[in-house]
Chain A
Amino acid sequence: MAHRWGMAIDLDRCMGCEACVAACHAENNLPVSDPAQAAKGRAVHWIRVDRYYEGEFPEIRVKYMPVLCQQCDEAPCEPVCPVYATYHNPEGLNVQVYNRCVGTRYCGNNCPYSVRFFNWFEPKWTAPLELQHNPDVAIRPGGVMEKCTFCVQRIERVKLDAKAENRPVADGEVQPACVQSCPAEAMVFGDLNDPESKVSRLASSGRATRLLEELGAKPKVFYLQRGK
């Protein structure tokens, strides 16, 4: 059976350390933005950690929520692309084909989660940071949209390894950079089509909710927290 990749994020475990953000930048060749561009809202982060404050100081509580592309099954970004640069692949990934993208930014505009980013300029790295580029991931040129891929380069790698060894992909074998780097093990990645996978069990536990569920985009990222 085809895979259907999904993620579960335990908000009761997340402590907002942003290791996932750093790991994502390193794995996916994300440029470091300068302050002037960041102030214009042009910084690119495929994953970010949102903060919510509850109560008044000193009785304050902070809640953290990592937000990445929700890989929606009914993705609002897809139908608005005039050139089919973003589409749904057979494994449920919402894919951005940079070669195809002409930069209309309609997709980013239609994304309720604000997880799509436009490259206003050619990406730049201050030396020697360009030496750490991951050769398995494209360097996106200026003028195209980009976003989290669920680390598709790792998915491809694991699938081909499994095929070479004539075995199915094991649960937990694919680890996107954010999942791998999370010290609290708050993030779990896996196949939602496998009812036994850890992510499937977490997604169907009573603690799971999805972001802005009422919009009907059917995200494949599940947020876990204790019932209110």
Chain B
Amino acid sequence: MRYIWLIGLCATAALAEQPILFPHNKHMALGLECLDCHSTADTRAAAGMPSVRKCMLCHEKLATDRPGVKQVRDYAARKLEIPWIRVYGFSPSALVKFRHAPHYRANIDCTTCHGEVAKATVAEATVTHNMGTCLSCHRQKKATEDCVACHY
């Protein structure tokens, strides 16, 4: 019995990296669009993270009994943003710039680069991003191969 409790504790510790366990699948099932929360993926370089005020549009009233939602409400009451831990992203030392907007306009689905986030319970890096993956698609779609489009 004690061992099962220990294993359970370890599993939670591994997942508890994010400040709150945010389930994409439950929210996508409500009929939300990716852009409702990552609202600058169509126009800007960064897709953008939703502010806690956006969560509170629903969680002022909805599912307030869930432990995760209680945490969200707690952040909102203290007027703090939720310090999400980044899943994807190049370190500054990679010296590379990515922009979402041109890809959105080229009708490239989010799943191509992020996997089935809509079905995920926790956001995980399921797709590798490196110069090879960028350029093989760029070559195929006749998009730019000029170094300075990505490196500056």
A-B complex is real: yes
List residues of A whose CB falls within 8 A of some B CB.
87, 89-90, 93, 95, 97-100, 136-141, 149, 152-153, 156, 160, 163-164
Known A-B contacts A87-B147, A138-B92; the reply to A153 vs B102 at CB < 8 A is: no
B45 smallest CB distance to A (angstroms): 8
Contact of A141 (CB < 8 Å), options: B93, B97, B148, B149: B93
Contact of B148 (CB < 8 Å), options: A89, A140, A160: A89
Known A-B contacts A98-B95, A138-B92, A160-B99; the reply to A89 vs B146 at CB < 8 A is: yes
Residues of B within 8 A of A160 (CB): 99, 101-102
Q: Is the CB of B92 within 8 A of A164?
A: no
Q: Is the CB of B95 within 8 A of A138?
A: yes
Among residues of B, the one whose C-beta sits closest to the C-beta of A152 is B152
Known pairs A90-B146, A152-B152 / 17 extra A-B pairs, C-beta < 8 Å: A87-B147, A93-B148, A95-B147, A97-B148, A98-B95, A99-B94, A99-B95, A99-B96, A138-B151, A138-B152, A141-B95, A152-B148, A153-B152, A160-B102, A163-B105, A164-B43, A164-B101
Question: 29 A-B contacts, Cβ less than 8 Å apart?
Answer: A89-B146, A89-B147, A89-B148, A90-B146, A97-B148, A98-B151, A99-B95, A99-B96, A99-B151, A136-B45, A137-B152, A138-B92, A138-B95, A138-B152, A139-B92, A140-B95, A141-B93, A149-B152, A152-B148, A152-B152, A153-B97, A153-B152, A156-B97, A156-B152, A160-B101, A160-B102, A163-B102, A164-B101, A164-B105
| 3 closest A-B pairs by CB | A95-B148, A138-B95, A97-B147
Contact of A97 (CB < 8 Å), options: B101, B102, B151: B151
B35 smallest CB distance to A (angstroms): 15
Q: Could you say which interface size class chain B belongs to? A: 10 to 19
Q: How far is the CA of A137 from the CA of B61 in the complex (A)?
A: 43
List residues of B whose CB falls within 8 A of some A CB.
43, 45, 92-97, 99, 101-102, 105, 146-149, 151-152
A151 smallest CB distance to B (angstroms): 9
Residues of A within 8 A of B92 (CB): 138-139
Residues of A within 8 A of B148 (CB): 89, 93, 95, 97, 149, 152
Q: How far is the CA of A100 from the CA of B99 in the complex (A)?
A: 21
Q: How far is the CA of A152 from the CA of B43 in the complex (A)?
A: 19
Q: How far is the CA of A137 from the CA of B147 in the complex (A)?
A: 15
Among residues of A, the one whose C-beta sits closest to the C-beta of B45 is A136
B98 smallest CB distance to A (angstroms): 12
Q: Which of B94, B97, B99 has the most CB of A within 10 A?
A: B97
B83 smallest CB distance to A (angstroms): 18
Residues of B within 8 A of A90 (CB): 146
